[in-house]
Protein backbone atom coordinates (compact mmCIF):
# COMPACT_ATOMS: atom_id res chain seq x y z
CA UNK A 1 0.00 0.00 0.00
CA UNK A 2 1.41 3.41 -0.98
CA UNK A 3 2.13 6.02 1.65
CA UNK A 4 -0.35 8.81 2.23
CA UNK A 5 0.60 11.84 0.13
CA UNK A 6 2.22 14.79 1.90
CA UNK A 7 4.18 17.72 0.44
CA UNK A 8 7.89 17.10 0.81
CA UNK A 9 8.49 20.52 2.30
CA UNK A 10 6.74 23.64 3.51
CA UNK A 11 8.14 26.84 4.94
CA UNK A 12 6.98 29.94 6.75
CA UNK A 13 8.24 32.92 8.69
CA UNK A 14 7.91 33.26 12.45
CA UNK A 15 4.39 34.28 13.40
CA UNK A 16 2.86 33.04 10.17
CA UNK A 17 0.55 30.05 9.72
CA UNK A 18 1.21 27.01 7.56
CA UNK A 19 -0.88 24.01 6.59
CA UNK A 20 0.35 20.51 5.75
CA UNK A 21 -1.95 18.26 3.76
CA UNK A 22 -2.26 14.48 3.93
CA UNK A 23 -4.16 12.84 1.08
CA UNK A 24 -5.34 9.26 1.05
CA UNK A 25 -8.46 7.46 -0.07
CA UNK A 26 -11.88 6.37 1.16
CA UNK A 27 -10.14 3.23 2.50
CA UNK A 28 -8.07 5.19 4.98
CA UNK A 29 -8.21 8.95 5.64
CA UNK A 30 -11.67 9.40 4.16
CA UNK A 31 -13.20 6.36 5.77
CA UNK A 32 -12.18 6.76 9.40
CA UNK A 33 -11.55 9.48 11.96
CA UNK A 34 -8.37 7.70 13.11
CA UNK A 35 -6.00 10.28 11.63
CA UNK A 36 -3.06 11.40 13.75
CA UNK A 37 -0.09 13.75 13.28
CA UNK A 38 3.48 13.42 14.59
CA UNK A 39 6.34 15.87 14.96
CA UNK A 40 9.88 14.55 14.72
CA UNK A 41 13.04 16.53 15.39
CA UNK A 42 16.33 15.17 14.01
CA UNK A 43 17.60 12.19 15.96
CA UNK A 44 14.53 12.10 18.17
CA UNK A 45 11.49 9.84 18.45
CA UNK A 46 8.20 11.08 16.98
CA UNK A 47 5.80 13.02 19.20
CA UNK A 48 2.01 12.86 18.94
CA UNK A 49 0.56 16.30 18.09
CA UNK A 50 -3.00 15.57 16.92
CA UNK A 51 -5.18 12.45 17.18
CA UNK A 52 -8.63 11.47 15.91
CA UNK A 53 -8.36 14.20 13.24
CA UNK A 54 -8.87 17.20 15.52
CA UNK A 55 -7.90 16.34 19.09
CA UNK A 56 -4.82 17.71 20.81
CA UNK A 57 -3.08 15.71 23.56
CA UNK A 58 -2.50 17.38 26.87
CA UNK A 59 0.63 19.52 26.74
CA UNK A 60 0.56 20.21 22.99
CA UNK A 61 0.28 23.89 22.13
CA UNK A 62 -3.09 25.13 20.86
CA UNK A 63 -1.18 26.60 17.91
CA UNK A 64 -1.50 23.10 16.41
CA UNK A 65 -4.86 22.09 14.93
CA UNK A 66 -6.18 19.38 12.67
CA UNK A 67 -9.04 19.00 10.23
CA UNK A 68 -10.31 16.71 7.49
CA UNK A 69 -12.30 17.11 4.29
CA UNK A 70 -13.07 14.04 2.24
CA UNK A 71 -9.89 12.03 1.71
CA UNK A 72 -7.55 14.83 2.81
CA UNK A 73 -6.53 15.64 6.36
CA UNK A 74 -4.65 18.80 7.28
CA UNK A 75 -2.39 20.02 10.07
CA UNK A 76 -2.28 23.76 10.65
CA UNK A 77 0.38 25.45 12.75
CA UNK A 78 -0.34 29.05 13.63
CA UNK A 79 2.06 31.61 15.08
CA UNK A 80 5.08 29.71 13.75
CA UNK A 81 8.02 29.48 16.12
CA UNK A 82 11.60 28.41 15.53
CA UNK A 83 11.12 25.23 17.58
CA UNK A 84 8.35 24.10 15.21
CA UNK A 85 11.01 23.36 12.58
CA UNK A 86 10.85 19.57 12.24
CA UNK A 87 9.49 16.73 10.13
CA UNK A 88 5.76 16.08 10.33
CA UNK A 89 3.99 12.80 9.54
CA UNK A 90 0.33 11.93 9.25
CA UNK A 91 -0.96 8.45 9.99
CA UNK A 92 -4.28 6.75 9.35
CA UNK A 93 -6.00 3.49 10.12
CA UNK A 94 -6.96 1.58 6.98
CA UNK A 95 -9.74 -0.77 5.96
CA UNK A 96 -7.15 -3.57 5.84
CA UNK A 97 -6.57 -3.20 9.60
CA UNK A 98 -3.17 -1.67 9.05
CA UNK A 99 -1.65 1.71 9.90
CA UNK A 100 -0.45 3.88 7.04
CA UNK A 101 1.87 6.87 7.34
CA UNK A 102 2.46 9.77 5.03
CA UNK A 103 5.85 10.28 3.45
CA UNK A 104 6.62 13.17 5.77
CA UNK A 105 6.89 16.94 5.38
CA UNK A 106 9.94 18.98 6.33
CA UNK A 107 8.89 22.28 7.88
CA UNK A 108 11.42 25.09 7.64
CA UNK A 109 10.95 28.23 9.71
CA UNK A 110 12.60 31.02 7.74
Binding site for another protein (CB under 8 A): 1, 3, 34, 36, 38, 40, 45-48, 51-52, 57, 87, 89, 91-93, 97-104
Q: Which is nearer to another protein, 9 or 110 (CB)?
A: 9
Minimum distance from residue 56 beta carbon to another protein (Å): 12
Minimum distance from residue 60 beta carbon to another protein (Å): 11
Contacts of 77 (CB under 8 A, 6+ apart): 12, 17, 18, 19, 20, 63, 64, 84, 107
The alpha carbon of 81 is separated from its chain's Cα centroid by a whole number of angstroms, namely 17
Amino acid sequence: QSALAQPASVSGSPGQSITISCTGSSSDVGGYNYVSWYQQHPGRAPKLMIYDVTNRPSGVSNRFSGSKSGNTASLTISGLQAEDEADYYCGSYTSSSTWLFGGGTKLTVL
